């Protein structure tokens, strides 16, 4: 099944590295895996993890996902390898290609990820960069699909910084035909190139809105999604951003303005009383931990499709 899949041995650096049909295929495979309707075995396959940024869910979900399809994982910590001593990416990538069958890389600059992909002869997966977090988007839309089944009438509102998560939600939503609204303070909009790409996919239809008023953005929404206001590497901006994002907290008053059956998502870690209140985080509307679990299922499906 998977050896014939045209995704085999391809890179996954961006949501736009796959087509709508391939995205739907990955979500279907993830659902079958989760429901124990599909068992996949790739014996003797090795996943290499290169994480320049701290991680809990991404690291563990990849390790467990690889284990569940019969493979193993090598965790390459930059502080205990030659990567941390300045070995060129092109050398590291070519060496690891001879040891590993697939690489998952979590780093700051998207250009570094592209450099790994340029020199690696094996598939490279974006496990998060400052530009995109495509694996998170796979899990997000798997969670939304589980709840609403038909994605075509879903309205997803992201409230917070126009960061890598927002960028991937925009692109994934464009491929799936989901209306996406981004609510953020002025000056914190998503990447303009990402917005342009999404508009091109949608033929400039009004399925993407960038707003500065969360109360307006959330009206009638089926999904309310938030994330931390300051991403990793932005510690020096934390105090400034906390002030600018006042009024963008997902609280019970905001939730009441959404659809009565709306669900709440957060990619975690969460800072209660900042981007989300405790009562909303723990409410019956929350699907946050289902979303976290789905990282593992979505990544099993992705790995299964990429490994040759």
Q: Answer for the pair 308, 12: CB distance below 8 angstroms, yes or no.
A: no
Q: Answer for the pair 267, 134: CB distance below 8 angstroms, yes or no.
A: no
Q: Given 161, 295, 299, 305, which residue is catalytic?
A: 295
> Of how many residues is the chain composed?
308
**Helices 110-119 and 89-99: crossing angle, nearest 10°?**
50
Cis ω for the linkage preceding 194 (within 30 of 0): no
The residues, ordered by sequence, that sit 6+ positions from 287 with a Cβ below 8 Å of its Cβ are 143, 147, 263, 264, 265
State how far the Cα of 118 lies from the Cα of 301, in Å rounded to an integer.
Answer: 24
Strand-pair category, 179-183 with 102-106: unpaired
272 is catalytic: no
Q: Given 57, 59, 68, 136, which residue is catalytic?
A: 136
Q: Given 133, 266, 287, 297, which residue is catalytic?
A: 133
Q: Given 100, 135, 267, 305, which residue is catalytic?
A: 267
Q: Given 57, 59, 106, 266, which residue is catalytic?
A: 106
Nearest of 92, 102, 128 to residue 48 by alpha carbon: 102
Q: Answer for the pair 109, 116: CB distance below 8 angstroms, yes or no.
A: no
Q: Given 57, 130, 227, 291, which residue is catalytic?
A: 227
184 is catalytic: no
State how far the Cα of 231 lies from the Cα of 36, in Å rounded to an integer.
Answer: 35
State how far the Cα of 278 lies from the Cα of 246, in Å rounded to an integer.
Answer: 16
- Would you put residue 203 in left (φ > 0), alpha (ψ -120 to 50) or beta? left
The residues, ordered by sequence, that sit 6+ positions from 243 with a Cβ below 8 Å of its Cβ are none
135 is catalytic: no
Angle made by CA atoms 31, 110, 193, in degrees to the nearest 5: 85
133 is catalytic: yes
295 is catalytic: yes
User: Which residues are the active-site residues?
Assistant: 106, 133, 136, 227, 267, 295
């Amino acid at each position: 099944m998977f050896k014939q899949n045209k995704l085999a041995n391809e890179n996954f650096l961006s949501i736009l590295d796959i087509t709508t049909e391939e995205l739907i295929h990955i979500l279907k495979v993830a659902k079958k895996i989760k429901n124990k309707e599909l068992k996949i075995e790739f014996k003797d396959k090795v996943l290499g993890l290169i994480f320049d940024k701290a991680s809990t869910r991404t690291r563990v979900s990849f390790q467990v996902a690889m284990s569940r399809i019969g493979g193993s994982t090598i965790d390459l910590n930059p502080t205990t390898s030659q990567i941390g001593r300045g070995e060129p990416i092109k050398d590291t990538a070519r060496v690891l290609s001879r040891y590993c069958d697939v690489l998952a890389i979590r780093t700051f600059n998207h250009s570094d990820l592209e450099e790994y992909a340029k020199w690696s002869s094996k598939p490279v997966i974006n496990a998060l960069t400052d530009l995109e977090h495509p694996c998170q988007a796979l899990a997000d839309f798997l969670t939304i699909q589980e709840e609403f089944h038909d994605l075509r009438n879903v309205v997803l509102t992201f409230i917070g910084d126009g960061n890598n998560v927002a960028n991937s939600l925009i692109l994934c939503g464009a491929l799936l035909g989901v209306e996406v609204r981004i609510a953020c303070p002025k000056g914190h909009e998503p990447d303009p190139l990402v917005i342009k790409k999404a508009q091109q996919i949608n033929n400039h239809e009004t399925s993407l809105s960038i707003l500065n008023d969360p109360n307006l953005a959330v009206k009638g929404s089926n999904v309310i999604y938030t994330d931390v206001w300051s991403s990793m590497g932005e510690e020096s901006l934390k105090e400034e951003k906390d002030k600018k994002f006042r009024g963008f907290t997902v609280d019970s008053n905001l939730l009441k303005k959404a659809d009565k059956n709306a669900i709440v998502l957060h990619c975690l870690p969460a800072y209660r009383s900042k981007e989300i209140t405790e009562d909303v985080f723990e409410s019956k509307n929350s699907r946050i931990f289902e979303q976290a679990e789905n990282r593992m299922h979505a990544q099993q499906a992705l790995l299964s499709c990429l490994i040759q």
